[in-house]
Amino acid sequence: MKTLKLFLVFALLVNLTGCWSKIELDELTFIYGMFIDAGEEPGTVEVSISSPLPNRLMSGTQGGSGAGDGLAYSMVSKTSTTIPDAVILIQKDLSRRLEISHLKIVVVGKEYAKQGIGEMLEWFKRQPEIPLGTYIMAAPGRAKEIPKLSPIFEQLPDQVLANIVKENIMYSTTIRDCVLAEASHMGYAMNYLSFGSKDETSEHGKPEYWAGVGGVMLFQDKKMKGILKIKEGRSLAWAAGHFAGHNTLPVYSFVWEDDGKGAVSTIFLSNSASTSVKMTPEGPVFHVKVKGRAGITYFEDSEGRKADQLSDLIITKLQEEVVKEISESLEHVQKSGADVLQLGMLMEWNYPSEWKRLREHWEDYYSKEARIKVTANFKIADFGSEK
């Protein structure tokens, strides 16, 4: 009994010891944003990190400002032959240890995307601290320029970029999406930003910059294959369904001249898409089906008829308009050779024997021979209020 009591006392004393491996928060630098560009010299890469400055993140301050006139975040950039080496160079210049587990956004520069993002994805896979749910997008020029944006409603540029993705205006691509697509030798897409300076200046006389979604960048085999503009990118995002995230509130407007002239603007309250494949004597045919519930935000008819009286006409024209736009965007994606809808994986699941025959030259078959048919099924859920 005495031995047991001594053991219990010893066990309790062990629990009173401190954590030998602890690191205080004020000893860490939290990386919220990472911006990756091709280096000025061939074979090099430039890595920039964005981290908040806690001493300037005070409540009640305006977005992007902190104590005095200083920014609420810091930017550090280094160039080396590899991403890990560049990160180590950044660490050497800091008085605090880098902590990457809070990473929220990754932006790749256009030139780096052209060269290929394979090294970046490989590094992400081997770093357990990096959240695979981190959003990733592409810049129209150098990625390190993007944090210059003016975070009017937020405190940090990283928050602005993350919120843009969360709104699902186009795509909500994550590191996980890219890694899984590459592992399956499929294509993927990510938001392609627009960036520029405003006409007005800040209250301190400095230029103001803005950033938004300018389209979609397409990838296959770790390299950029093409860029779609906003209209085509929006249609592709709808067709991609869960690969894109979920397209929020797409708006479509069209006119007609059947039985009188008219014009309609609609906004989709809900939308979804599904893909399937059927084997025919001529080969596989891929079907993309889009569904949605729309509300009418604008209506005009030369004959004075109400919107609910022309519901069948509106639905027919709306379906034709959406099918046309999605089909055109998919044609551009096919020509680029990027299997963003991952139709090859669909073939493997449903027709494995046929997939074995096509697998070796799938990219060529997909870009030149694959047949994709788009259909739509819509309902008008709201005709709007009329007096």
Asked whether residue 305 falls in the same domain as residue 192, the answer is no
Per the structure, the complete domain to which residue 191 belongs is given by: 23-242
Is residue 5 included in any domain, yes or no? no
| Helix H or strand E encompassing 348 | helix 343-350
For residues 140 and 194, is the Cβ–Cβ distance under 8 A? Answer: yes
Each residue's pLDDT tens digit, 114-155: 999 999 999 999 988 899 999 999 999 999 999 888 777 777
Instruction: Report the C-alpha gap between 62 and 59 in whole angstroms.
Output: 9
> Which of 227, 242, 257 finishes a domain?
242
CATH number of the domain at 273, please: 3.30.300.210
Asked whether residue 226 falls in the same domain as residue 103, the answer is yes
Interstrand relation of 28-30 and 223-229 (parallel, antiparallel or unpaired): unpaired
Is residue 314 included in any domain, yes or no? yes
Asked whether residue 186 falls in the same domain as residue 291, the answer is no
> Which of 215, 242, 269 finishes a domain?
242
Asked whether residue 292 falls in the same domain as residue 188, the answer is no
Dihedral over Cα of 80, 81, 85, 87: its sign:
positive
Along the 387 residues of the chain, how does pLDDT read in single tens digits?
A: 667 666 676 666 666 655 555 555 556 778 889 999 999 999 999 999 988 876 665 544 444 443 334 667 788 899 999 999 999 998 888 777 888 888 999 999 999 999 999 999 999 999 888 999 999 999 999 999 998 887 777 778 888 888 888 876 788 999 999 999 999 999 999 999 998 887 665 555 677 888 888 999 999 999 999 999 988 998 999 999 877 776 676 888 888 887 678 899 988 888 889 999 999 999 999 999 999 999 998 988 888 888 888 888 889 999 999 999 999 999 999 999 999 999 999 999 999 999 999 999 999 999 999 999 999 999 998 887 654
Is residue 167 included in any domain, yes or no? yes
Q: Please give the span between the terminal C-alpha atoms of the chain, in angstroms, as a whole number.
A: 90
Asked whether residue 146 falls in the same domain as residue 271, the answer is no
Instruction: Report the C-alpha gap between 177 and 137 in whole angstroms.
Output: 12
Is residue 101 included in any domain, yes or no? yes
The number of folded domains in the chain is: 2
Asked whether residue 202 falls in the same domain as residue 61, the answer is yes
Each residue's pLDDT tens digit, 266-318: 888 888 899 999 999 999 999 999 999 999 989 888 888 888 888 888 899 99
Half-sphere exposure of 86 (CA within 13 A, CB side): 24
Is residue 130 included in any domain, yes or no? yes
Interstrand relation of 283-301 and 262-280 (parallel, antiparallel or unpaired): antiparallel
Asked whether residue 27 falls in the same domain as residue 173, the answer is yes
Asked whether residue 175 falls in the same domain as residue 318, the answer is no
Asked whether residue 168 falls in the same domain as residue 41, the answer is yes
Is residue 15 included in any domain, yes or no? no
Is residue 1 included in any domain, yes or no? no
DSSP letters, 164-202, are HHHTTSS---BHHHHHHHHHTT--EEEEEEEEEEEEEE-
For residues 296 and 248, is the Cβ–Cβ distance under 8 A? Answer: no
Instruction: Report the C-alpha gap between 260 and 257 in whole angstroms.
Output: 5
Instruction: Report the C-alpha gap between 214 and 140 in whole angstroms.
Output: 9
- Phi (first) and psi of residue 35, to 5 degrees: -125, 120
Is residue 17 included in any domain, yes or no? no
Asked whether residue 236 falls in the same domain as residue 262, the answer is no
> Which of 206, 223, 242 finishes a domain?
242
Asked whether residue 85 falls in the same domain as residue 127, the answer is yes
Asked whether residue 225 falls in the same domain as residue 264, the answer is no
